[in-house]
A and B are shown apart, each in its own frame.
Chain A
């Protein structure tokens, strides 16, 4: 990987060359990720990989036109070509009605509230990590379970320079472990954790959490729920993994300034109005040490706290500089990576305030039939304008009644207006960080801290038929 100093030199040289083309404004982004992913399935080793990717993105603004270009070719010829392409793209087409202005001048970052780069996490030698997965597998076997796991370690260096004077480079690391334990009679349990520092990740704790979930399923016989034809409403207890999935999707369609302004979001036109329950407060803060620290967004705008829901009232949505210019708003520091930029601006360092209830209290309070849900699979947007989502429960779905677990149930399909459901939250527990990255693009510090929730009368429309796996 290029060092921080080498990235600074690269940005300085490249920006000087881009300026010479005759642009009015320009931006260079250098993003290098090195990561390793080990996978196991059913106690077997799966395909494991390591990759090293360096990407250069450029933006040019000429008058009221703009264009972008990208390359992974860092040779002189490759860089000359990307500069040429970027300039050419910026002079095509018609003038925009909007005057764009790249954000600046950010040259120094405030001290981080915790360390975000650890050489030990960037050490991708696999022996120790395979050993970790082996131990997890053996621990699972001792409990009569089969383990499928994913351990990712890696780091990235990200630098941004623009003609408005922004010049920032940062480096960060990340390790994440997720696992699914499966057993006889459809037992399936999940747990995950993540950290900046591989020394802080406790695989033993993660596997014990999943074993506990699996044991709960093994102790009691499965309960069959009848879903023949009719929709059914249940109170639900959601673990933070499940809550995180709902909130992540709501954030991408709700607080996204693009969809908000175009009228597609369930929050469009509802600024300063009560949208969810009084007990729901949500903010985004890439500088909060409770999550992964993201020093700045993909336009070099430093991250700061942004209140989204304040006791149920919508207080803000997210913009990057392009959306801000178009709709007369200031960038909120939520520019997405260049390959996602056309999708808008999305908060990805989210914190939902918790409450005093423990999961035990939520269970004890559940006299009528209640569904306890560990997580969801393939949750997707059914109706963005109303915030309606559907998805299946996964890896630990239980019936709770008379204040205790009755037994595992098959996976269930919910179809629910989530903002309305968030008006029916009766219990909130303590927030915990949830992060299980998929890694379609480069590494960037994102995470969420959310509490377990108990919600009344959630709509279910079907099940997987019999107890899955």
Chain B
């Protein structure tokens, strides 16, 4: 069916002698959101979206047009709009866009491995019952708990990509996610705890089995008790301390201070009007030798990882998903790139870097941009207990609550839900409102330990913002607990 739809577009492309065209069709994107709050259904939404987007290269410039109406009578006008944009843009194009040649994927197919289809194999009522049970457990955890929230989200998107080079790719991506949080209040003091992560939990590319693997019921009481205990905990002290970050905090650190900095479009400046640039623009000539972190720091981009949120088969410009080294023993060796930016990079640096499948759009109505996939800190060795035992005076922070970083990804500040003082190799008192701040390269160079594979966890980040108009992308990050020496810490209190 969609071949007929697209053949009309490709006929127009031939008629107008465009240099390149790709068509992305989303016949169906199904979503389900269930949010239970204080024992009641706060939100229960089913959503169905569809649409198509046409990206044209003409006169060395891009034009993109989309419609949420997947109807043949939209094709002519949308094609003309994309073509007009490309033609007009070409008049101001200083450097014509060239695409790095990649193999044609004549029939690519990818489907998220799913054991339990969240839309077919589990009823809405069963999901609601699970959330209500969690709510009851959180309610029983502490009289100080004022707000209880538990949620599940599911998504199934069918995507078709065709381009003028002959690639044809079909994908079905399934996501399942869940989480819960409590807010405890005592007078003017308010504290929050979440599981498995803040900002509505954890999401993966998987079926309902992912929800079951989270074992939410085992943690519902604990987060309530911890939120209450935080009300009476001491504030995080100010000063320079050895800092242990748990994976649920470290993942956002990776995202903000490595992930965005290595996006090649940002390095070239194309996000200056919104998301910002990258300090690596000043170090491009040192690509392959620039010391980003200590020898303990090994970072990879890996969209092939099972269940991680940034996993897929092919990106939105027909490049196969692939694992890429980004930082190897502390040295910056990899980028997140596209066909266009690789051409430019190779021209500037004289290197021969291939695109690594990072071009993705949040939906058919947005143009593909370079996005993170699953950007992971690879495990080192040892257990968390061993790491704690080797730490004389430090602070452990867990679960992100706030984040901020400058437009070049240098100076950052992160807050966590909970902290623990580490004294003479042991967890000591609980600390509330912990916060730390630093400079990206100094921070990663201060990393002197990363725990081993048994401590490694993966988290989905479903709200990575970039592009104008804005695109919220789903990406993933994995890490084991890691230690950083002499980091500036303090309290989130004003």
Q: Which of A70, A378, A379 contacts B48 (CB 8 A)?
A: A70
- When distances are taken between beta carbons in the complex, the residues of chain A under 8 Å from B216 are none
Residues of chain B having any CB pair with chain A under 8 Å: 35, 39-51, 53, 61-70, 74, 78, 81-82, 84-85, 88-95, 124-125, 128, 132, 146-147, 183, 185, 188-190, 240, 268-274, 276-277, 365-367, 369, 402-408, 410-411, 413, 415, 433, 435, 437, 439, 465, 468-472, 488, 490, 492-494
* Cross-interface CB contact of A382 among B45, B470, B492, cutoff 8 Å: B492
A54 contact set on B, CB distance < 8 A: 68-69
CA distance A96 to B413 in the complex (A): 40
Q: Do B183 and A264 touch (CB < 8 A)? A: yes
Q: Does A313 contact B (CB under 8 A)?
A: no
Tell whether, in the assembled complex, residue B272 and residue A341 are in contact, meaning their CB atoms are under 8 Å apart.
Answer: no
In the complex, besides A51-B67, A182-B272, A469-B408, 8 extra interface pairs with C-beta distance below 8 angstroms are A40-B92, A41-B270, A44-B94, A88-B46, A92-B124, A149-B273, A383-B415, A411-B407
Residues of chain A within 8 A of B70, CB atoms compared: 73
- Of all chain A residues, which has the CB nearest B412? A413
Contacting residues, chain A, for B68 (C-beta < 8 A):
52-55, 72
Is B493's CB under 8 angstroms from A383's CB? yes
Residue pair A49, B273 in contact (C-beta under 8 Å): no
Pick from A47, A180, A379, A465: contact of B62, CB below 8 A.
A47
Interface residues on A, range: 35 or more
Quick check: A150 and B93 within 8 Å, CB to CB? Answer: no
B residues in contact with A47, CB < 8 Å: 62, 64, 270, 367, 369
**Contact indicator B468/A385 (Cβ below 8 Å):** no
Given contacts A130-B92, A388-B492, A420-B494, contact A41 B269 (CB under 8 A): yes
Minimum CB–CB distance for A63 against chain B, Å: 13
Q: Establish whether residues B185 and A263, one from each chain, have CB atoms under 8 Å apart when the complex forms.
A: yes
Q: Which 6 pairs show the lowest CB-CB distances between chains A and B? A: A417-B494, A439-B469, A440-B470, A388-B494, A126-B88, A148-B272
From B41, B43, B95, B469, contact of A51 by CB (8 A)? B469
Assembly CA distance A89 to B439 (angstroms): 48
Please give, as numbers and ranges, the residues of chain A lying within 8 Å of B147 by CB-CB distance: 262-264
Q: List 27 contacting pairs A-B, 8 Å CB cutoff, sorted by A.
A: A41-B272, A44-B94, A45-B89, A48-B64, A49-B366, A66-B44, A68-B43, A68-B44, A70-B48, A72-B51, A74-B69, A89-B124, A94-B132, A125-B84, A263-B146, A383-B493, A384-B190, A385-B188, A390-B402, A392-B407, A394-B406, A439-B470, A440-B472, A461-B413, A461-B490, A465-B410, A465-B411
Alpha-carbon separation in the docked complex, A38 to B93 (Å): 12
How many angstroms from the CA of A274 to the CA of B278 in the assembled complex?
Answer: 43
Residues of chain B contacted by A129 (CB below 8 angstroms): 88
Which of A20-28, A77-85, A276-284, A328-336 is the contact stretch? A77-85
Roughly how many angstroms separate A97 CA and B41 CA in the complex, as a whole number?
Answer: 11
Which of B53, B64, B404 contacts A378, CB < 8 Å? Answer: B404
**Residue of A43, A73, A229, A416 touching B94 (CB-CB under 8 A):** A43
Confirm or deny: A468 has a beta carbon within 8 angstroms of a beta carbon on chain B.
yes
Per-residue 0/1 for A149-181: is the Cβ within 8 Å of any B Cβ (1 yes, 0 no)? 110100000000000000000000000001110
Closest to A192 in B: B273
Query: Taking the nearest CB of chain B, how far is it from the CB of A342, in angstroms?
Result: 5
Instruction: Give residues of chain A (363-406) contacting chain B, Cβ–Cβ below 8 Å.
Output: 377-388, 390-392, 394
Closest Cβ of chain B to A137, distance in Å, is: 7
Q: Flag if B89 contacts A52 (CB, 8 Å).
A: no
Closest residue of chain B to A384, judged by CB?
A: B190
Check if A407 is an interface residue, CB within 8 A of chain B.
no
Question: Of all chain B residues, which has the CB nearest A98?
Answer: B40
Distance in angstroms between the alpha carbons of A55 and B277 in the assembled complex: 33
- A422 CB to closest chain B CB (Å) equals 12
Binding site for B on A (CB under 8 A): 35-55, 65-74, 78, 81-82, 85-86, 88-90, 92-94, 96-98, 124-127, 129-130, 133-134, 137, 148-150, 152, 178-180, 182, 229, 262-264, 338, 341-342, 377-388, 390-392, 394, 411, 413, 415-417, 420, 438-440, 461-465, 468-469
Given contacts A39-B468, A93-B41, contact A263 B183 (CB under 8 A): yes
Closest to A95 in B: B40
Q: Which A residue sits closest to B43, measured CB to CB?
A: A342
Question: Pick the contact of A152 from B190, B437, B468, B472 — CB < 8 Å?
Answer: B468
The interface residues of chain A lying within 8 Å CB-to-CB of B82 are 50
Chain B: CB-nearest residue to A393: B406
* Contact between chains at B468 and A71 (CB < 8 Å): no
A222–B423 CA distance with the chains assembled, in angstroms: 43
CB neighbours of B470 from chain A (8 A): 438-440
Q: How far is the CA of A152 from the CA of B469 in the complex (A)?
A: 9
A50 touches B493 (CB 8 A): no
Q: Contact at B413–A413, with CB atoms within 8 Å?
A: yes
Contact of A96 among B40, B48, B78 (CB under 8 A): B40
User: Which residues of the other chain, B, contact A51 by a CB distance below 8 angstroms?
Assistant: 53, 65-67, 365-366, 469
Across the interface, which residues of B come within 8 angstroms of A464, CB to CB?
406, 408, 410-411
Given contacts A47-B367, A381-B402, whether A78 and B48 have CB atoms under 8 Å apart is yes
Contacts of B465 in A (CB 8 A): 438, 440
| Docked complex Cα distance between A82 and B39 (Å) | 26
Q: Which residue on B lies nearest to A182, using beta carbons?
A: B272
Chain B residues whose CB sits within 8 angstroms of the CB of A263 once the complex forms: 146-147, 183, 185, 190
CB pair B494 A387 closer than 8 Å: yes
A468 to B288, CA, bound (A): 23
Of all chain B residues, which has the CB nearest A342? B43
Is A415 in contact with B413, judged by CB distance below 8 angstroms? Answer: yes
The minimal Cβ–Cβ distance linking A128 to chain B, given in whole angstroms, is 9
Please, how many angstroms separate the alpha-carbon atoms of A39 and B435 in the complex? 36
- Cα distance, A440 to B365, chains bound together (Å): 11
Report the Cα distance A48→B48, complex, angstroms: 27
CA distance A341 to B42 in the complex (A): 10
Neighbour of B435 across the interface among A377, A382, A387, CB < 8 A: A382
Residues of B within 8 A of A178 (CB): 273
Inter-chain CA distance A36–B81, complex, in Å, is 10
How distant is A289 from chain B, measured CB to nearest CB, in Å? 26
CB closest residue in chain A, given B89? A45
A394 touches B407 (CB 8 A): yes
Minimal Cβ-Cβ distance residue in A for B82:
A50
Contact B367 A49 (CB under 8 A): yes
Residues of A near B85 (CB, < 8 A) are 36, 38, 48-50, 126
A44 to B97, CA, bound (A): 11
Residues of A within 8 A of B366 (CB): 49, 51
Contact B69 A52 (CB under 8 A): yes
Closest to A413 in B: B411
User: CB-nearest residue of chain B relative to A463?
Assistant: B411
Q: What is the bound-complex CA distance between A178 and B274, given in angstroms?
A: 10
Please name all residues of chain B whose beta carbon is closer than 8 Å to the beta carbon of A342 when the two chains form the complex. 35, 42-43
Residues in A whose Cβ lies below 8 Å from that of B490: 461
Could you tell me if A89 and B492 are in contact, using CB atoms closer than 8 angstroms? no
For B46, the chain A residues whose CB sits under 8 A away are: 68-70, 85-86, 88-89
Given A85-B46, A126-B84, A263-B146, A379–B270 Cβ distance below 8 Å?
Answer: no
B150 to chain A minimum Cβ distance, whole angstroms, is 13
Q: Is the CB of B469 within 8 A of A44?
A: no
Chain A, Cβ-Cβ closest to B91: A130
Known: A264-B183, A413-B411. Is A52-B402 also a contact (CB below 8 A)? Answer: no
| B125 contacts across to A, CB distance below 8 A | 92-93
Shortest Cβ gap from A227 to chain B (Å): 10
Chain A contacts of B403 at CB under 8 A? 378, 380
Cα-based distance from A71 to B47 in the complex (angstroms): 6
Closest to A59 in B: B45
